Structure 1
């Protein structure tokens, strides 16, 4: 089997699952509730720039949890659904299976980030915000997509944990702890040095220093390498 055949199988499994539609509903619910809350608090003085910058900032936690859940679920469901044995008997190398799953996770999460932003734009349009500018929207959208990609990078340790724990509950528990730690460390000034707060730094400033980039890259690489190594050397069920 080629990598494209495996990708096709993975995409079909995801689209046919109940989780696929449910995740889109959850990702729409977040922008809707946050947008309404922001507008209710600021009244009629809110414009497009204030609205989107505040909304995107508030969506960071939802994105981190959501992206991690998706990444962990794509791998962990093979254990919870007891389909790992069926997957391993296919005439394809384990590295190709891992690569296909990683590509699916990346594509799904990027699609969701664009979807969240589109829902946010729709809410702002319905509420009649002032100050629309294509340049402004494009700038915020670009920063939001880059931030989403940075959050996706730090989901790789969750993927590794999903394989080690043979499920997706452990990564979700870990990410809840990380969210709490992120708030504490950010308040202490360590946001540029903690992998899961670094994307938020970029969202706020549009810039990352070299140490933050290195920390982020090492975190992402460690998760990917660990996942490939686990599939290669760990005893499978």
Structure 2
């Protein structure tokens, strides 16, 4: 199994999508978060009304913006990369060769999930590091001690957002397409936004992590946050089951 994971990691690391995804998610979120206070510095009432607390030139403002962006943009970015990881085998025609390998298809799918989750952890760490560097560039100074929990929640939000995107792997497999995976990722983002607007975000697994991070853990209970585990496990299991039942003729 270790060799299969290594092969998938090499494939992912050498692919432009992997590098682009790391840059866009890991660095892009921090850049956008730090850009919000700069946009608000103009004093435009409409801009201030739209970005709210994220427009404050403070660590609280930067982290509030990061949580908002990660909740939508991060989920979409993780989903697109995951959809590519599983859909590319069909798009490139390499799925045929996988049937001839001595390694089972579920083992290959498991390796892909391991690589994806490992990448998500690293990328979530990059988000935190680039946020700190961005805050220093804004002149906010070294993050105070009370900011540490918020930085920890931001890291956790990145990992949880990646877990929220796991159904995309199943969608890309069943649809045999990268595009289907991307559509699935967009659907998850829309569903989370609708649930939040409807006031059910705390009970909706895909939306709960973002609300938890944005409210400093006040608006979402640990029990609500744990509701993410069952759908994530089911999505992973459904993906492995689909790979086990793959056939070349359909």
**SS state of the match for residue 134, structure 2?**
helix
The alignment's C-alpha RMSD in Å is: 2.2
Equivalent position of 1:225 in the other structure:
237
- 1:20-169 matched pairs, under 5 angstroms: 20-27=18-25, 28-42=27-41, 46-130=57-141, 132-133=143-144, 135-169=145-179
Q: Is the 8 Å Cα contact of residues 170 and 235 (structure 2) preserved in structure 1?
A: yes
The answer to whether structure 1 residue 179 and structure 2 residue 179 are counterparts is: no
Provide the TM-score with structure 1 as the length reference: 0.88
- Residues 47 and 75 (structure 1), Cα distance of their counterparts in 2 relative to 1, 3 Å cut: same
Q: Is the 8 Å Cα contact of residues 170 and 238 (structure 2) preserved in structure 1?
A: yes
Equivalent position of 2:7 in the other structure:
9
Equivalent position of 1:19 in the other structure:
17
Q: Is the 8 Å Cα contact of residues 37 and 56 (structure 2) preserved in structure 1?
A: no
Aligned residues: 233
Q: Is the 8 Å Cα contact of residues 32 and 123 (structure 1) preserved in structure 2?
A: yes
Provide the rounded CA distance (Å) in 1 between the counterparts of 2:207 and 2:224: 13
Q: CA deviation at 1:212?
A: 4.9
Task: List gaps (5 residues or longer) in structure 1.
Answer: none
- Residues 151 and 29 (structure 1), Cα distance of their counterparts in 2 relative to 1, 3 Å cut: closer
Provide the rounded CA distance (Å) in 2 between the counterparts of 1:154 and 1:113: 14
Greater CA deviation, 74-83 or 112-121? 112-121
**SS state of the match for residue 74, structure 2?**
helix
- Residues 70 and 145 (structure 1), Cα distance of their counterparts in 2 relative to 1, 3 Å cut: same
Greater CA deviation, 39-48 or 141-150? 39-48
Greater CA deviation, 60-69 or 138-147? 138-147
Equivalent position of 2:52 in the other structure:
none
Provide the rounded CA distance (Å) in 2 between the counterparts of 1:23 and 1:13: 14
Provide the rounded CA distance (Å) in 2 between the counterparts of 1:233 and 1:55: 40
Highest RCO, 1 vs 2 (Cα 8 Å, sep ≥ 6): 1
Q: CA deviation at 1:56?
A: 2.7
Task: List gaps (5 residues or longer) in structure 2.
Answer: 43-54
